[in-house]
Structure 1
Amino acid sequence: MVSGAERLLAVLAAHGVEVVFGLPGVHNLPVWEALRTSGIRLVGVRHEQTAVYAADGYARATGGLGVALVTTGPGAANCLGATGEAYASGSPVLVVATDIPSTLRRPGEYRGTLHETRDQRAMFLPVVKGGWTLRAAESIGVYADSAALLATTAPQGPVYLGVPTDFLTADAGVWNRIPTRAPSTPDVTPGVELVAAAERPLIWAGGGAARSGAGAAVGALAARIGAPVVTTYGGRGLVDHPHVVHGPVHLPEVGALWDEADLVIGVGSDFDGMMTQNWLQPAPPKLLNVNVEAIRNYRPDVTLRGDARVVVSALADAVPPRPGNGVADRVAELNGLVRAAVAADEPRAVPLLEAVEGYRVVADMCVAGYWVGGFGRITRPRGLAYPVGWGTLGFGFPAALGAAVTGRVVAVCGDGGFLFAVGDLATAAQERLPVTVVLVDDGGYGMLRHDQARAGHEPFGVDLRSPDFVALAGSFGVEASAVDGFGPEFRARLDEYAARSGPNVLVVRSAALRPPVNTSPRWYRRVS
């Protein structure tokens, strides 16, 4: 007999899963027993929300399926905020939660069984791509297979799978793996005609381009048609290419590329509010949409549906080459203007951005994170994870734990958001995860303090009593130290910590940084 727990892990292994993140409970202990001999690494966390954030961070870092294993009722409910971030950011995450025993469930009735909810799956439906609750132990193979495929098939996103606890020890029956097909290439002729007629094309590459591995294809297309490349937060680091702009469109000098383009080629982007300043960017004269689905925020003239890497490669091969038009020189000049604008706007941010360049970074929703997310020079695919899908404060540290399974990661966090998951310093220490936390302590919620001041109010409820972060980290067995500001000592200590083998925390005592122009209070496009 193959138990349900064993079948679940076998399906995950068949989908390339090598690590799972989870928290044990009375209902899911059979999975923990099966994990002993499964060959899949278990990273035990201290909160269910961390399990999903870590699975999300792992998925963003690797492109593979991130898996969170949690228990029933309150354990499952604790996952919802992190699952919403994965949904808004298009991360392939599978949340496997146990449910009460099927023998105790009565349809339409709430009986008060331990951890019971009226409909656990229904809690997740607003924040997942799809979800199921098993009705028979024999179906665990096909449903786990379907859930993994759904999560990893573009457009990617989180999926919920609920498993009544008695099914984990029951006979799982036979499982026949679901066959898959390679992505097809659509007819790109309509797109070729649009590109050939354009004189000032702009490539706008988003998270879908990054998830499909379309970097080389985007670079080839940019070079062939002489187009600058603007990347969204999800597309940062897509390709290191002379045509890539290292700054956000929220800076007027970069936003001008959109305004003057006669064709925008959107690759794997839905043109969300955070990137378009709530759609105050005017609709371009022509829009070519390369995506697996229709977009709603701007009306495309042509949509080429399919995998971004496949479609853009075909497009780059088919479009007529455009003679050199000095785009590389213009982008180089523009990137210089971006750096100068940062230095003029907030000179204290410059050494921070310089120090983290070259590292894989996970940024939280904090002022330092906004600077890194908008202006950090990211030159490697999947080099930045940033929670602007849903904007979940507290994402940075736990997501970095998942990414750190694959190697050294720098997490840029504020003092407020870091405390959301501070207990998982124990996870970092126990698993010896190579994560360096840059913890910027400005004594409160710096962005909200700025918002209050901007409205003419005195700070209220945004200043925080912080612990001694160095001593706190030390109590978990995690090396930590503190520096004042982002000067040379910060850079030297960061490089020193990043060369170590385990986790560490670098506390930066700093006056509040001025928020950058990519934060909504400073957007330059305004409703007239």
Structure 2
Amino acid sequence: MAAVPTTITGARRLAEALTALDVEVVFGLPGVHNLPIWEALAHTEIKLIGVRHEQTAGYAADGYARATGKLGVAIVTTGPGAANTLGAVGEAHASASPVLVIATDIPSTLRRPGVTRGVLHETSDQAAMFAPVTKATYTVSSADEIASAVHQSARKALEPQSGPVYLGIPTDFLKNVARDFDPPTEVFAALSTPDLGKAERLLGKAKKPLIWAGGGALRSGAGPAIGALAERIAAPVITTFAARGLLPLDHPCLAPNPVHAPEVGALWDEADVVLAIGTDFDGLMTQNWAMPRPPKLIAINVDPEDAGKNYPVDVMLTGDARAITEALDVPQRSGLTELTVGLKRIAAKVRHRIREEEPQAADFLATLEEVLPRDAVLVADMCVAGYWAGGFHRIPAPRKFAYPMGWGTLGFGFPASLGAAAAGTGRAICVSGDGGFLFACGELATLAEERMPATIIIVDDGGYGMLRFDQEREGLPQRGVNWDSPDFVGLARSFGVHAERVSGFGRAFRRLLSEMVEADEPNVLVVRARLRPPLNTSPRWYRR
């Protein structure tokens, strides 16, 4: 490590603040305006991973946050550099990922209020670009404010409901001398527990209760409490895309995924009381709210307005999902054995449906379940294979799955898997299509440079397979959805990344994937195959 500079600049205060927040990894791209940050971070223990595009910095920070539950940090430069992150920040916002984007801005000495002068990278209001896709935006007005603004931004990003925050810093403040700052010790205040009586009475009288758990339940660590409550009241637990892995795979109340399968959807239709924990019932999970409103709905959420915006709530319990679920005192009821047997029967029907409708997808899912390490983090992109993994792969634990179904950003998978790999919580396994991978194929350089523990599965169907299906379904000619794919294996190898190719999801795929996930190096597996989209994609929803 280089010698620590004696002059404490704004950039150094920024690095000190990130260190005080226990930030271990930062993703970024250098630019003429943010070079002082790179220099300041070189004098800390924080690992700065350089990427090839600012959008990747945002996605990687998001992938890191999802895999760890910690703050993900992206550092980018001014104007177009900051703007390049917006797609990734929008996904983090829709998925409630705690991401802090630190972007430089033009020097304060060159800014003239109300006038866009034409300074290099100048934007009339850079923070305003981020306002629709963040929880908050902050712009500092002096070097002295930098450290406190970093702490304030981090706190805002992490406090429930978590989400991305933008922090803008005029570049001249990074070189200015900044005064000392004592960081706060408290991250965010604890939430209180509301009166539970009415909810307990409804659950106690329910004949067919159901628990619907979302991303807020997972982020709060409510899995054990939800599992215990479900066993006590003999209620099936349906998890959203954001809550995959909430309960152990062998939990007696865990319903098979997804709710888009009619066999699973029937559990919702039969329920007389639904307990919704940490969810807003978004359109993707409810088939654009075609699911009927349950007779009685109880919601646990830190944001009561968000919880009730799509289905009217009978009982609203505002607060932390884990604390409130633990506090619910509902008598033991019979029926657990019958419920478990029924859920196993449903799971068998779903597996049979997959095998009958799309044998290749059944082979793909069986291989994932068989060969992925228990601690692997599966990252799926918006592609047909990703939809199969997102809907039907059984996730063994919390924070072992990342999926861009908050905002639905194609190109999320590969760069987010870099963040998951950097988290150190298990090997990252990315499922990407050929189209989505090409959004960020330059990050093969980052993968090779950092020797990241990641296996990238590229399912090459020669174009945009989902859009091709949409056109076929509408009886339209195929336009803009087919191409001759590049030599993905040769491309990966040109960056120094081991790569192989295979046709279909048979024995060769299983053998190669099992070898790759056990390797010490990054690798790429290209699969030439076409899959039919699964039931959890909107053209195939059974509710209309």
Interval containing the TM-score (normalised by the shorter chain): over 0.9
| 8 Å contact kept, 1:243–1:331 | yes
Please tell me whether the aligned partners of residues 416 and 464 of structure 1 are also in contact (alpha carbons under 8 angstroms).
no
Q: Which residue of 1 aligns with 2:315?
A: 302
Please give the alpha-carbon distance, in whole angstroms, between the structure 2 residues aligned to 1:252 and 1:429. 44
Which of 156, 177, 190 lines up with 2:183 in the alignment? 177
Q: How does 1:224-303 map to 2 (within 5 A)?
A: 224-240=232-248, 241-294=251-304, 295=307, 296-303=309-316
Using the TM superposition, give the Cα deviation of residue 444 of structure 1 relative to its aligned residue in structure 2, in angstroms: 0.5
* Structure 1 unmatched ranges of 5 or more: none
The letter for the 1-side match of 2:227 is: G
2:301 maps to amino acid: N
**Which one of 77, 82, 85 corresponds to residue 91 of structure 2?**
85
SS in 1 for 2:431: strand
For residue 419 of structure 1, the aligned residue among 430, 433, 438 is 438
Offset at residue 82 of structure 1 (A): 0.5
Counterpart in the other structure of 2:4? none
Residue in structure 1 matching 2:534, options 516, 519, 528? 516
Of 134, 148, 152 in structure 1, the residue corresponding to residue 154 of structure 2 is: 148
Instruction: Please report how far the alpha carbon of residue 15 of structure 1 lies from its aligned counterpart in structure 2 after TM superposition.
Output: 2.1
Q: Across the two proteins, how many residue pairs are aligned to each other? A: 523
Amino acid of the residue matched to residue 286 of structure 1?
Answer: K
Q: Which of 192, 203, 226 is the matching residue for 1:195?
A: 203
Offset at residue 183 of structure 1 (A): 3.5
* Distance (whole Å) between structure 1 residues aligned to residue 441 and residue 270 of structure 2: 46
TM-score under structure 1 normalisation?
0.97
1:76-111 deviations in whole A, cap 9, x for unaligned?
Answer: 010000100000111000000000011111111101
The question of whether the paired residues in 2 share the 8 Å contact of 1:483 and 1:509 is answered with yes
Displacement, 1:182?
Answer: 3.2
Secondary structure of the residue aligned to 1:250 is coil
- Given that residues 16 and 64 in structure 1 are in contact (C-alpha distance below 8 angstroms), is that contact kept between their aligned partners in structure 2? no
Secondary structure at 1:242 match in 2: coil
Give the 3-state SS of the residue equivalent to 1:399 in structure 2. helix
In structure 1, C-alpha distance between the alignment counterparts of 2:196 and 2:77, rounded to whole Å: 47
Which residue of structure 1 lines up, in the alignment, with residue 125 of structure 2? Answer: 119
Q: Does 1:455 align with 2:474?
A: yes
- Cα deviation code 1:456-483 (max 9, x no counterpart): 1221110022111110000000000001
In structure 2, C-alpha distance between the alignment counterparts of 1:102 and 1:207, rounded to whole Å? 40
SS where residue 217 of structure 2 aligns? helix
State the shift of 1:13 in Å.
2.1
Q: Give 1:3's aligned residue.
A: 9
Cα offsets for 1:31-63 (capped at 9, x unmatched): 000111111001100000000000000000000
Report the CA distance between 1:354 and its aligned residue.
Answer: 1.5
What is the CA deviation profile of residues 122-158 of structure 1, one whole-angstrom value per residue up to 9, with x for unaligned ones? Answer: 0010100111111121111221111101101111110
Distance in 1 (alpha carbons) for counterparts of 2:279 and 2:111: 43
**Cα deviations across residues 175-222 of structure 1 (Å, max 9, x unaligned)?**
232334334333322321221121111000111111111111110111
Residue matched to 1:20: 26
Partner-residue secondary structure (3-state), 1:348 = helix
Counterpart code for 1:136: S
Q: Does 1:466 align with 2:485?
A: yes
Structure 1 residue aligned with 2:405, among 385, 388, 400? 388
Match of 1:347 among 359, 372, 386: 359
Q: In the alignment, is the contact (CA less than 8 A) between 2:222 and 2:322 conserved in 1?
A: yes
Question: Structure 2 CA distance, aligned partners of 1:17 and 1:333?
Answer: 46
1:439 is aligned to 458
Contact 1:23/1:70 (8 A) holds in 2: yes
Gaps of 5+ in 2: 1-6
Partner Cα separation in structure 1 for residue 361 and residue 492 of structure 2 = 25
SS at match of 1:352: helix
Residue identity in the other structure for 1:351 = D
**1:109 counterpart (115, 139, 146):** 115
The answer to whether the 8 A contact 1:346-1:513 is kept is yes
Distance (whole Å) between structure 2 residues aligned to residue 97 and residue 506 of structure 1: 35
Report the residue type matching 1:459 in the other structure: Q
The equivalences for 1:207-226 within 5 A come to: 207-226=215-234
Structure 2 counterpart of 1:409, which letter? A
> 1:311-330, aligned counterparts within 5 Å?
311-315=324-328, 318-325=329-336, 326-330=338-342
Q: Look up the SS of the partner of 2:440 in the other structure.
A: helix
Residue 326 of structure 2 aligns with an amino acid whose one-letter code is S
One of 334, 348, 353 as aligned partner of 2:346: 334
Relative to the length of structure 2, the TM-score reads: 0.95
Mean CA deviation greater in 347-356 or 444-453: 347-356
CA contact (8 A) 2:385 2:432 kept: yes
Paired residue secondary structure (1:131)? strand
CA distance in 1, matches of 2:252, 2:527: 34
- Checking the alignment, whether the CA contact within 8 Å between 2:256 and 2:264 is kept in structure 1 is no
Contact 1:232 1:275 in 2 (8 A): yes
